[in-house]
């Protein structure tokens, strides 16, 4: 099992969700995040002063999947989030040793979905 | 030289035994002073309705567009006052050409203190009509286009239909009665809002067509307490709007008007609450707020000629009506009006105008018409103003659309107008899911 | 036919040399006009206090209940105006039956412009009393139960004790003096709030019993700027509340009342700040705000008979008192009052009423009593109203509790009343730790 | 005994055929009543500006300091009213010693209803001057130090220069004209703000020196809707501020003043918007808001002597000026004024005062001076008040700085003043990046 | 060492904390999160329109523990968060290679508590 | 590759960022978090009632780095965040199996920076 963490542009969240649904991945968790990356990005200004927006708003997705779903998930995220522009985001894949469903105490692969 | 030594003057007067004033202050000046402070006080209250609209509209839309809504509300007033000073007043209250349009007093030429007083009281009404529209067109309109719209409605659209009704124009001649502006102000704003919302189209993602079936989505407002504050401020301002429309500080009916206004608003809020409760299963806050406003808009035309019980009925119907209308526009017609402006101001404005015919004391209306006749004239006025506003705003918003000045692009809309149109955020530091 | 051609009338008058008015406007009409615009203006200001209460209560409670608080504030006013129109006014100002209760003028039957004016000014006071309660019962009360409560307090509880004091009832006969309602309005609201809070019980997790010892937890308000705005709005409204209670636009004491009101509020805020500073180590914002309100409530009874220095003393004591009272209710009695309504309105209302006896100019009070006698009568009035409100609200809230209509369930409370009672969120899109 | 049986009195009057009043109400009392209700009404409106300032300042600074700003605004008013009651009024309006300072009426000794009325109207002006400063010194000032400052400006600094101009002092004698206080109120606040901001130094991280070059950073305000609400409330209050400054409820120029005030504010907002649009590429909301305020401040001195077209020009220039001034102070002088108070109140206050000389109707000004002479006197007044305020506040803030009571420590500043000075958070539960 | 990530219902946070305390687990970090899971959940409605609340509010807990504490932690979370209803949440167990206490530069097992 | 997660005091974020920049680490993501740790911390009080602030505000940093950067990153974080007082925070090091750049589909070490 893997835990996939993806940083995407906030306004791409719906597109990514749709692509994931298409690949039958329905479970995920999302958090707000501020990201520092290659995207030096658009400049905001406030009262005429440029705001050094080097922490840009991102959405952080966390998706736990069984091994055979990893590539599918990655592809779906890319399909939904890619524009080709700097700032599209990153995907991180991490090992996941166990999953427990709190409701039923199910464990492992059975609990993930 | 003017000094602020008023207290000494005051003392002198007290010591001087009144002689000073007996010479100075005539009865006509007394009457004039009553009207002056009453109308300026009322005008200040109506001005504050700008804050009310700004808060309601901001609260009922999404955080990522809050600064843009604010800017629209600030600038439609600012542009509006200059436009109404230069042109609007003249077209509305200048000498009438055939009951259709005013023709002089541009730039308030030749104004005396009476004209300044009346202009002050009228300009805040003009600004109210203008600002209604920003709510319905929220979250997707180009800022520059909106500025232009503000100019035109305050300079021409509002004043001309206003002339027909409030400046002795042809509708007034026929006996049309609209005490404080259910039609003159609110419907004008409401119908303009409708045309704007239709030409703009819905916000991205509002109506999703899946397999031929349209699913309606909700974009919940981001700040209900602010919206509620706006509603209270509007209600407060309405005491200036309606009671001030007695146009006289010595009119004993000031209290009557304030009473009917209060009761209608209360009834509107209650009925909207129960309607939403029955319909959706829970009493909906934003609908109840709309209900209070619906009651206020509804009684505006008849506040002076409808009695308290009548006011409660008018308000109650407006409260139910506004919920039905919001539902109908959203779920059936798929017109995307984020704050319910079309229903509150357009539909309930029309209802209130009609209600004058139905519930109004005909003697007070004073048109000499029968009840059926009065209802007919009221309906005619509603229709005439509807036609006028729809046609002119179709041209206005249509032209803006044709030159691409009406709607922002998709990415701008998704990112939010605060960033794309103004380069700022409204809630800096707060973590907000701005994608929703 | 009524046209909005006021300017022409105005012009005519100016040209006509006053003759018009000399015939039209008598001195009594002038007096009447002063009272009219003054009272309607004051009523509008008092109305705005609804916004103040809504913002204070919303700001000092948690985000997950914001929409619910808003709804309560909107609906207690809306329900209240209808109730006070139908029944309340009659019970309060109808012909007295033995100084105990009014008996006619139901549905404002037979009202003229004086009655409408007075109703308008009185209804906003009734609504103030009603709305005080929502703060103390916040974050756990069922919405439907609250609606019922609103109806009863505006229709009966408030008007009846009000009759005793402001409509020539038995307390008035004895010489009890409550200028603008420290007891009539604020204590009534405060004691009702107390009974409500006690019968409801504390919010889940507020008082945690660990090994026989109760630990008190704080649930910090979620929006201090909004609460502060509410306080400023209330203070503003108080100029209508107190200065308007001269009931006459020609009373030279309007300025006196405004002055004592201002000074007492300032002293209250300062003393509450210092008290919290000394006690807790830091000057607490929400306590200082409560202090300003305490000063305002405290001077309300005596604003007309207490002089500026006295007003400062009354306000200062109220400011200190409110902090002690909040502490005592919370830490000793474990009565959970999220916004301090019992202390501000109940306790400081009683204090202000007593202060009339202590600091009031007896000649102005005009009861013919000695100072000790006046203090005694004030105390009697405080006690009588306390008893009346406690008994009636015990019955009212007790019945609601008995039928399970008083308090929401645990899960509803944890999730927040916005979702459980209204199915909405108030700050959509914001990331909020709603579990705290 | 005072009962609230006003309606019966009213009825009696109506029945009694006016005889009652013919005996009761003299013409001088009528005049007096107009002035009374007008000034108390206006005072209430000006009071509400405290809420406006509080919201603007809160909205334009960071969330972690919101409660502190609120406390400063609440307490500078509360401290200010007591100070102005005890000392300020006497120094300002007591019998003049050589046109320099008032010398009696401490603690309002010997006041009658005229004095109370005038005190009420004046105290809110004093409080306005005081509260301007909190914005410029926001986010880094010690609370205790600020309290002391509030005391001194309300008790002495504001009243003394006010005496020169509004109480027949030496500047008034020379023909200096400042109708409602561009200099007396706004510049005094603005210059004090400037000295405070300079002595405090900038907020940590505002001006970062990298390799000898200073980079200017922006700390965006955390709540633009709240700031906008504040601007609308201020604008509303300004109708009391300016129109009330006719000091008479029978002055036909009330409408004129309201009109020029409205037009100038509108023009200011528009020009500031366009200036920011051209300069920064986008129409900046907070600058546009500053522009509306700049227009209001600008017309304050000349609202009565400048005509509508002049008012538009004055406002437009103020609107452009405020943007340039903010830029200049920030980017060139590196004076850190979080809300633009120095530019809005100091700079545009000076501009408005000068504009009286340039655009004012000299006959109405009534000083007997030539235009050049009037401009000269206006400039002299601006300079004199500038010098007075700069010197006194240098001493005041300098002393506070010397004893370490002016600025909080670095960690306190980083954590936010809400936690370090008051031990609370203002937006409990909200997830906020408080480090930015 | 493991890093345990748990998604729970927001209103269960206090109960979970208490259970963890009982097992002598005092250190944790919590974040707001929006979760997509089996819980299609209650429906909110706004102005009469159903809100498709497929992103439900959750609290995300992150607890770093030594290996012998893993089961204890899982049990405590379940004890506090379980109601038996859909939406109770999930627990993820991930390998944790190192921990450093910033204050003291302590490393590994000693730094975790 | 490793994923480094660090909890730091909010007001140290800028210092940490500067130290990271000095070590040529420019990419990171930040989230708000509430932390329960040794720091029983300062007490807030609200209306005279002590608030049991056992969930203190922290910033959670997430930095994906190649193995040779791990120590550098840890040192930079410590340099920026250490004050020696309780509450300075913790650093967690976790294995990271893969990284994908959404924009270009680059994978692994090349995608991390
Ligand atoms: N090494 C990293 N560690 C942690 N977060 C990262 C890292 N690299 C990128 N991110 C996250 O991904 C977001 C997008 O990265 P960015 O470099 O701007 O995109 P792109 O790779 O398309 O140029 C960043 O804002 C940040 O939140
Ligand atoms: N595979 C997953 N990846 C990421 N987060 C998940 C996953 N499954 C569940 N979650 C999180 O756990 C929460 C509860 O999951 P849910 O399926 O509703 O509970 P249950 O398993 O009790 O039915 C979700 O809202 C989501 O935040
Ligand atoms: N075992 C842990 N699991 C998860 N988060 C932790 C753990 N230990 C510490 N933290 C996080 O680190 C922060 C600082 O920890 P703390 O123990 O206060 O610091 P210190 O180690 O300097 O005493 C905590 O507030 C919490 O957010």
Three-state SS annotation for D140-194: CECHHHHHHHHHHHHHHHHHHHHHHHHCCCHHHHHCCCCCCCHHHHHHHHHHHHH
pLDDT for A50 equals: 61
Q: How confident is the model at residue E24 (pLDDT cuts 50, 70, 90)?
A: confident
For residue A62, the ligand 2 atom closest to its alpha carbon is 4
Task: State the average pLDDT for chain B.
Answer: 93
The arithmetic mean of pLDDT across residues B139-156, rounded, is 97
What confidence score (pLDDT) does residue D4 get? 57
Q: How many Å apart are CA C136 and CA C150, to the nearest integer?
A: 14
Lowest mean pLDDT among C7-21, C30-44, D366-380: C7-21
pLDDT of F87 strictly over 60 = yes
pLDDT in the model for residue A48: 67
Q: Which atom of ligand 2 is nearest to the CA of A104?
A: 22
> Containing H/E element for C68?
helix C66-83
Closest CA to B180 of B261, B87, B86, B284: B261
Q: Which residues of B251-278 are buried (b: 16+ CB within 10 A; e: fewer)?
A: bbbbbbbbbbbbbbbbbbbbbbbbbbbe
Residue B203 pLDDT exceeds 50: yes
- CA dist., res. E35 & res. C275, Å (int): 46
The confidence band for B3, taking pLDDT boundaries of 50, 70 and 90, is: very low
Beta carbons within 8 Å of E110's beta carbon, 6+ residues apart: none
Chain E, 45 to 84: residues with Cβ < 8 Å from chain F are 62, 64
Count the helices and strands in chain C (H runs, E runs): 20, 4
| CB-closest option in C25, C58, C426 to B250 | C25
- Residue C285 and residue C296: Cα distance in Å, rounded? 17
Instruction: Please compute the mean of the pLDDT values over residues A67-79 and round it to a whole number.
Output: 95
pLDDT of residue D14: 40
Ligand nearest to the CA of F86: 3
Span of C15-29, D331-345, D405-419 with lowest mean pLDDT: C15-29
Q: What average pLDDT does this structure show over D257-273?
A: 98
CA distance D44 to C191: 30
Average pLDDT (A28-35) is 88
pLDDT tier for residue C119 given thresholds of 50, 70 and 90: very high
User: From the CA of C40, how many Å to the nearest CA of chain E?
Assistant: 34
Q: Per-residue pLDDT for D356 more than 60?
A: yes
pLDDT reported for residue A44: 55
Q: Say whether pLDDT at D210 is over 80.
A: no
Give per-residue pLDDT as tens, B222-268: 999 999 999 999 999 999 999 999 999 999 999 999 999 999 999 99
More confident call, A33 vs B95: B95
Region C78-92: mean pLDDT is 98
A6 at F interface, C-beta within 8 A: yes
E strand or H helix at C49: helix C27-59
pTM: 0.94
- pLDDT > 70 fraction of chain C, expressed in percent and rounded: 94
Evaluate if residue D16 carries a pLDDT over 70.
no
> What is the DSSP track for D337-401?
-TT-HIIIIIIHHHHHHHHHHHHS-HHHH-S---HHHHHHHHHHHHHHHHHHHHHHHHHHHHHHH
* Cβ count within 10 A of residue E110: 11
User: Could you tell me the two tokens for C129?
Assistant: 């009393």
Which chain D residues have a beta carbon less than 8 Å from that of B114?
Answer: 255
Which domains does chain F carry?
A: 2-42+51-112 (3.30.70.120)
Please check the confidence at residue D143 and state whether its pLDDT lies above 70: yes
What count of other Cβ atoms lies within 10 Å of the Cβ of residue B337? 26
Which secondary-structure segment (H or E) carries D215?
A: strand D213-216
pLDDT confidence of residue A11: 82
Query: What residues pair up with A95 in beta bridges, in sequence order?
Result: A2
For the cut 90, the answer to whether the pLDDT of residue A35 exceeds it is: no
Distance from the alpha carbon of residue F80 to the mean position of ligand 3, in angstroms? 17
Band the pLDDT of C254: cuts 50, 70, 90. very high
A41 has a pLDDT exceeding 50 = no
Task: Please report which confidence band the pLDDT of residue D287 belongs to, taking 50, 70 and 90 as the band edges.
Answer: very high
Residues across chain E:
113
Best residue among A30, A78, A82, A89 to mutate for probing ligand 1's pocket (most ligand atoms within 8 Å of CB) is A89
Nearest CA to ligand 3 atom 13: F89
Tens digits of per-residue pLDDT, C317-365? 999 999 999 999 999 999 999 999 999 999 999 999 999 999 999 999 9
pLDDT value at residue E42: 43
> Could you report the per-residue pLDDT of C132-178, keeping only the tens digit for each?
999 999 999 999 999 999 999 999 999 999 999 999 999 999 999 99
Using pLDDT thresholds of 50, 70 and 90, give the confidence band for residue E45: low
pLDDT range class, residue B14, cuts 50, 70, 90: very low
pLDDT computed for residue B22 by the predictor? 41
Quick one: pLDDT at residue F54? Answer: 63
- Report residue C217's pLDDT band, with 50, 70 and 90 as the boundaries: confident
The residue among D22 and B136 whose pLDDT is bigger is: B136
Banded pLDDT at F82 (limits 50, 70, 90): very high
pLDDT at A109 > cutoff 90? no
What average pLDDT does the segment B197-201 reach? 98
Which tokens sit at E89? 């949440």
C-alpha distance from B269 to closest chain E C-alpha (Å): 14
Residues C377-403: pLDDT tens digits? Answer: 999 999 999 999 999 999 999 999 999
User: Looking at residue E112, what is its pLDDT?
Assistant: 85
Please tell me which of the candidates D26, D34, D432 has its beta carbon nearest to residue B37: D34
Q: What is the per-residue pLDDT across C24-64, written as a single tens digit (0 to 9) for each?
A: 678 889 999 999 999 999 999 999 999 999 999 999 999 99
Q: Is pLDDT at E41 greater than 50 in this prediction?
A: no
Q: Region D44-64: what's the mean pLDDT?
A: 97
Q: Indicate if the pLDDT at residue F33 is higher than 60.
A: yes
Determine which of B193-207, C165-179, C420-434, D342-356 has the lowest per-residue pLDDT on average. Answer: C420-434
CB-based contacts of D395, cutoff 8 Å, min separation 6: none
* Nearest beta carbon to residue C284 from set F32, F48, F50: F48
Q: Where are the beta strands (DSSP E) in C232-273?
A: none
Does residue D20 carry a pLDDT above 50?
no
Task: List the single residue in D4, D21, D422 with the smallest CB-CB distance to C31.
Answer: D21
pLDDT, residue F52, reads 53
Please tell me the predicted confidence (pLDDT) of residue C429.
85
| pLDDT tens readout for residues B22-79 | 446 788 899 999 999 999 999 999 999 999 999 999 999 999 999 999 999 999 999 9
Residue with tokens 């005596």: C302
- Whole-angstrom Cα distance, residue B316 to residue B318? 5
Provide the pLDDT confidence category of residue B8 given band limits of 50, 70 and 90: very low
Q: How far, in Å, CA of F92 to CA of C404, rounded? A: 51
pLDDT for C5 equals: 45
Mean pLDDT of chain D: 93
Query: Does any CB of chain C come closer than 8 Å to the CB of residue F51?
Result: yes
pLDDT tier at F22, thresholds 50, 70, 90:
confident
> Are F25 and F19 within 8 A, CB to CB?
no
| CB F100 less than 6 A from any atom of ligand 3 | no
For the cut 90, the answer to whether the pLDDT of residue B317 exceeds it is yes
| Residue nearest ligand 1's atom 5 by CA | F28
pLDDT at B65: 96
Confidence of residue F41 (pLDDT cuts 50, 70, 90): very low
- Residue F112 to residue F1: CA distance in whole angstroms: 9
Q: What is the mean pLDDT of residues A55-70?
A: 90
């Amino acid at each position: 099992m893997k835990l996939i963490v993806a940083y995407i542009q906030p306004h791409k969240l719906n597109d990514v969700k749709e692509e994931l649904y298409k690949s039958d991945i329905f479970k995920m968790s999302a958090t707000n995040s501020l990201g520092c990356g290659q995207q030096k990005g658009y400049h905001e200004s406030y009262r005429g002063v440029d705001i050094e927006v080097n922490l840009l708003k991102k959405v952080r997705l966390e998706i736990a999947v069984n091994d055979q779903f990893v590539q599918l998930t990655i592809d779906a995220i890319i399909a939904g989030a890619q524009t080709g522009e700097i700032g599209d985001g990153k995907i991180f894949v991490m090992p996941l040793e166990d999953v427990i469903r709190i409701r039923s105490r199910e464990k492992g692969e059975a609990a993930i979905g | 030289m003017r000094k602020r030594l008023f207290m000494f003057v005051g003392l002198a007067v007290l010591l001087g035994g009144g002689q000073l004033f007996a010479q100075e202050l005539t009865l006509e000046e007394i009457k004039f002073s009553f009207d002056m402070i009453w109308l300026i006080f009322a005008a200040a209250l109506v001005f504050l309705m700008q804050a009310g609209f700004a808060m309601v509209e901001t609260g009922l839309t999404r955080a990522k567009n809050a600064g843009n809504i604010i800017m629209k509300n600030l600038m439609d007033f600012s542009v509006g006052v200059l436009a109404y000073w230069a042109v609007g007043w003249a077209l509305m209250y200048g000498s009438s050409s055939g009951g259709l349009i005013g023709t002089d007093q541009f730039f308030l030429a030749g104004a005396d203190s009476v004209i300044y007083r009346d202009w002050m009281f009228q300009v805040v009404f003009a600004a109210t009509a203008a600002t209604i529209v920003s709510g319905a067109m929220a979250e997707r309109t180009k800022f520059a286009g909106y500025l232009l719209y503000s100019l035109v409605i305050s300079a021409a659209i509002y004043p001309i239909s206003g002339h027909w009704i409030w400046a002795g124009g042809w509708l007034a001649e026929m006996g049309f009665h609209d005490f404080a502006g259910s039609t003159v102000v609110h419907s004008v704003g409401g119908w303009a809002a409708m045309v704007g919302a239709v030409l703009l189209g819905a916000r991205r993602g509002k109506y999703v067509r899946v397999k031929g079936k349209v699913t309606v989505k909700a974009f919940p407002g981001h700040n209900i307490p602010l919206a509620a504050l706006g509603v209270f401020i509007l209600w407060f301002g309405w005491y200036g709007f309606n009671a001030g429309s007695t146009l006289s500080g010595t009119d004993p009916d000031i209290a009557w008007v304030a009473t009917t206004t209060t009761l209608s608003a209360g009834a509107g809020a209650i009925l909207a609450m129960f309607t939403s409760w029955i319909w959706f299963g829970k009493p909906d806050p934003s609908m109840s707020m709309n209900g209070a406003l619906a009651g206020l808009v509804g009684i505006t035309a008849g506040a002076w000629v409808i009695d308290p019980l009548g006011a409660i009925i008018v308000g109650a119907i407006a409260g139910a009506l506004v919920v039905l209308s919001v539902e109908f526009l959203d779920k059936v017609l798929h017109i995307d009006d984020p704050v319910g402006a079309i229903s509150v101001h357009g539909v309930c404005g029309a209802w209130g105008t009609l209600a004058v015919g139905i519930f109004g004391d005909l003697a007070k209306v004073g048109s000499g018409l029968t009840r059926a006749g009065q209802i007919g004239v009221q309906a005619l006025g509603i229709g005439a103003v509807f036609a006028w506003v729809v046609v002119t705003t179709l041209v206005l918003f249509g032209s803006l659309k044709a030159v691409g000045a009406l709607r922002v692009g998709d990415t701008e809309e998704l990112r939010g107008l605060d960033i794309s149109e103004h380069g700022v955020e409204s809630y800096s530091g707060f973590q907000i899911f701005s994608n929703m």
